[in-house]
Amino acid sequence: MNGEVIILTGPPAAGKTTVAELLATGAAVPTVNLTTDQFYRSIRTGFVLPFLPEAQRQNEVVIDAIVSTVRTFARGGYDVVVDGIIGPWFLPPFRALVGELTVSYVVLRPNLDVTLSRARQRAGDELKNVDAITGLHGAFAQLGELEGHAIDTGGLDAEQTAAEVRRVLTAGGHRLQG
């Protein structure tokens, strides 16, 4: 039996990684937490910051690798929580899985002030570039037909956000159509 796929996305500093870890660790079935940043960090030579226009081809290759990995785990019976910046512009390869797999799309979207505040508190090499974060936040503010897939997480902590994500997944309203 195939596993389900949950794409947990949103702008940088929305809480994706923390919430994905909570969802995967607390799952009742075998579950993989697939962090897309690892795919980008694997590029050792020729890496282009993914938010730059010249990264388009790189991003397409990385998305194809992510989708192939997701398909492999899900076909093996694992639920897969995909944690990363998967905007609507990257959904066609994931939509191609629909019919074979159940794919849900959940956008964590605190307001811009909360997002920037969280970004300033990030440690290590996590994205802190205000212009890039603002641009990506703006892109996730224009979801069109997918607007109903967004959750305002500005007033929620990680545990509350994970609980809300579990609730909307159970309701089934965040499933993608092919």
Q: Using an 8 Å Cβ cutoff, are 115 and 14 in contact?
A: yes
Q: Using an 8 Å Cβ cutoff, are 146 and 105 in contact?
A: yes
- Tell me the pLDDT band of 92, cut-offs 50, 70 and 90: very high
Chain position carrying tokens 């195939």: 2
**3-class DSSP state of 62:** helix
Would you kindly state where each structural domain of the chain is located, as residue ranges?
Answer: 5-171
d(CA 148, CA 128): 27
Give the pLDDT score at 66: 98
Domain spanning 5-171, CATH architecture: 3-Layer(aba) Sandwich (3.40)
Give pTM, 2 decimals: 0.92
Mean pLDDT of all residues in 8-34: 93
**Of 58-72, 77-91, 92-106, 119-133, the least confident:** 119-133
Mean pLDDT over each residue of the chain, to the nearest integer: 92
Residue 25: phi and psi, rounded to 5, are -70, -35
119-169 residue pLDDT tens: 777 666 666 677 888 888 899 999 999 999 999 999 999 999 999 999 999
